[in-house]
Amino acid sequence: MSRIGKKSVELPAGVSATVSGQTIEVKGPKGTRTFKATDDVTITVDGQSVSIMPRGSSKRARQQWGMSRTMVANLATGVTEGFKKELEINGVGYRAAAQGNVLKLQLGYSHEVNFDVPEGVTVTTPKQTEVIVEGIDQQLVGQVAANIREWRKPEPYKGKGIKYKGEFIFRKEGKKK
């Protein structure tokens, strides 16, 4: 049995949800998000709470039950608070600058890296060594942050590269003579 699926999703004030078939649409102050559930679960809206129940007792129905509940909870969080990923840039001469819809990265290559920011995500650089990725779609925010980090992953010897804020980089000792 899903333990997370049993708990209903409480919608904060100012957020409304509508269900049509297997699609739930959540509207809030930051925007509108939708999620299409599989046929293995039933979604019902009761005032300011959304509950998800499995159809049958198959393994797939129980798997989709917990996942669908988490997706609906993420919709509600996204349209009220939004999601945020913070990245740190370490290295001599490594820096970032956001210019409109393009993030310009200098990462030790012979050229500057221009990263096009997709629609629905905002990228800001409060300092030259900090990048903040924000948006209402958790999957898109995480994917954009991972794509930025992919340009120069942190290396274990000097710790240079792009890392998530709070991420621990296991350091290795260099070669000995």
Whether 109 and 144 map to the same domain: the answer is yes
Domain ranges, residue 109: 83-164
Q: What is the pLDDT of residue 177?
A: 80
Whether 88 and 160 map to the same domain: the answer is yes
pLDDT tens-digit series, residues 65-87: 999 999 999 999 999 999 999 99
Smallest CA-to-CA distance from 89 within 126, 122, 140, 118 is with 126
Return the CATH number at 62.
Answer: 3.90.930.12
The residue out of 19, 54, 80 marking a domain boundary is 80
Is 50 among the domain residues?
yes
pLDDT tens-digit series, residues 103-116: 999 999 999 999 99
3-class DSSP assignment, residue 73: helix
Whether 138 and 115 map to the same domain: the answer is yes
| Residue 112 vs residues 13, 93, 98, 115, 147: alpha-carbon distances, Å | 45, 12, 13, 10, 16
| Model confidence, pTM | 0.87
Tokens of 11: 């919608």
The residue out of 54, 80, 106 marking a domain boundary is 80
Q: What is the pLDDT of residue 150?
A: 95
